[in-house]
């Protein structure tokens, strides 16, 4: 809100300065207002983009996997080109790059590579790169000089938090005490020492009646409850990763999110937002922000 209000104030002030410059035919003043407006334009665009990064995992680091599609050396060379493109983008953003797994191709390129990207909103930005990337060019590996189409997939995960912190609040618990069961006679528990705890948000129920002390039974029951909640969170993470994995598309024609054409003309087109750029070399050198930003902004329209 503070950022928004500051921008609003600056915009109003620029409007006042513009009116004054126009009234006095002040060319120098008009030039100053023009510079102010350009700065404001960039700040407003950045704020608009930041507002798109509102997913729960967007601030996280990213794990990126690049896999060559069918086509042998051609596809493996294309996968390596994509790896270089992302490495250059990461460098420009000031993020940290760390290779986790690297499988070189038999003749050239790579079969697959997996790396981490550490930095603010790394996953939020790179999640837009999920999908199949298609390259059209004159094959450098074909003596006949024929045009060739290659495919590679890019898949982006949010880096999971290694520590699952289990916090249990009293307001989420229903605690019941009752008499522990026994065999009768002098061993019957005449006090309500057994404890049953129900975790209301999840419905998990645990109980303990082994100890004579209610306090001790509660302590043991809480230990079991936290273990159950920890297991529950682990399963949620596994289910989430499986859901992401199941959403993968085939690395093939018709599934591509973006096409990079080097021959017979030069163009990079993002099929999701119909954005076309003519400077292919710049894109392959890591200038992919227009596509990332375009996809992020389109999702909120």
Q: What is the pLDDT of residues 118-175, one digit of tens each?
A: 999 999 999 999 999 999 999 888 767 788 899 999 999 888 665 667 788 989 999 9
CA distance 149 to 259: 10
pLDDT cut 90: percent of the chain above it: 50
**Are the CB atoms for 68 and 82 separated by under 8 Å?**
no
pLDDT of residue 216: 86
Asked if the domains at 62-163+250-298 and 170-240 fall in one CATH topology, the answer is: no
The chain-wide mean pLDDT, for the chain, equals 86
In the chain, domain spans: 2-52, 62-163+250-298, 170-240
Of the candidates 215, 178, 181, 184, the one whose C-alpha atom is nearest the C-alpha of residue 196 is 178
- The model's confidence at residue 294, banded by pLDDT at 50, 70 and 90, is very high
pTM over 0.75: no
Q: For the domain with range 170-240, which CATH number is right: 3.20.20.70, 3.40.50.300, 3.30.160.20, 1.10.940.10?
A: 3.30.160.20
Yes or no: say if 103 and 112 are a contact pair by the CB < 8 Å rule. Answer: yes
Q: What are the respective helix, strand and coil percentages of the chain, to the nearest 5?
A: 45, 25, 30
Q: How far is CA 119 from CA 89, 93, 221, in A?
A: 12, 9, 40
| Euclidean distance between CA atoms 127 and 264, whole angstroms | 30
Q: Which fold has domain 62-163+250-298?
A: Alpha-Beta Plaits (3.30.70)
Q: Cis omega before residue 254 (within 30°)? A: no
For 244-268, what is the mean pLDDT? Answer: 77
For the chain, give me the number of helices (H) and strands (E)?
7, 11
Residues 102/134, Cβ–Cβ less than 8 Å: no
Report the range out of 15-29, 76-90, 187-201, 251-265 with the highest average pLDDT.
Answer: 76-90
């Amino acid at each position: 809100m503070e950022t928004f209000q500051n921008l609003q104030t600056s915009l109003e002030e620029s409007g006042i300065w513009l009116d004054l410059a126009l009234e006095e035919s002040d060319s120098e003043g008009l030039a100053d207002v023009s510079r102010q407006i350009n700065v404001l334009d960039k700040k407003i665009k950045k704020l608009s983009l930041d507002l798109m990064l509102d997913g729960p995992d967007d601030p996280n680091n990213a794990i990126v996997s690049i896999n060559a599609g069918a086509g042998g050396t051609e596809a493996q060379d294309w996968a390596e080109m994509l790896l270089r493109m992302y490495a250059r983008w990461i460098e420009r953003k000031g993020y940290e790059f760390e290779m986790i797994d690297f499988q070189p191709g038999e003749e050239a390129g790579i079969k697959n590579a997996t790396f981490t990207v550490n930095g603010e909103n790394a996953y939020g930005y790179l999640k837009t790169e999920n999908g199949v990337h298609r390259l059209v060019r004159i094959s450098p590996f074909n003596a006949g000089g024929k045009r060739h189409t290659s495919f590679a997939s890019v898949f982006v995960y949010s880096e999971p938090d290694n520590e699952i912190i289990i916090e249990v609040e009293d307001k989420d618990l229903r605690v019941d005490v009752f008499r522990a069961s026994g065999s009768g006679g002098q061993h019957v528990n005449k006090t309500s020492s057994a404890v049953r705890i129900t975790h209301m948000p999840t419905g998990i129920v645990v109980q303990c009646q082994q100890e004579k002390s209610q306090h001790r039974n509660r302590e043991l029951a809480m230990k079991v409850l936290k273990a159950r909640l920890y297991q529950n969170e682990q399963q949620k993470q596994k289910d989430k990763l499986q859901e992401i994995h199941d959403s993968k598309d085939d690395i093939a024609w018709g599934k591509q999110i973006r096409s990079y054409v080097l021959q017979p003309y030069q163009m990079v087109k993002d099929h999701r937002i119909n954005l076309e750029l003519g400077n292919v070399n710049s894109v392959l050198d890591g200038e992919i922000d227009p596509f990332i930003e375009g996809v992020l902004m389109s999702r909120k329209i």
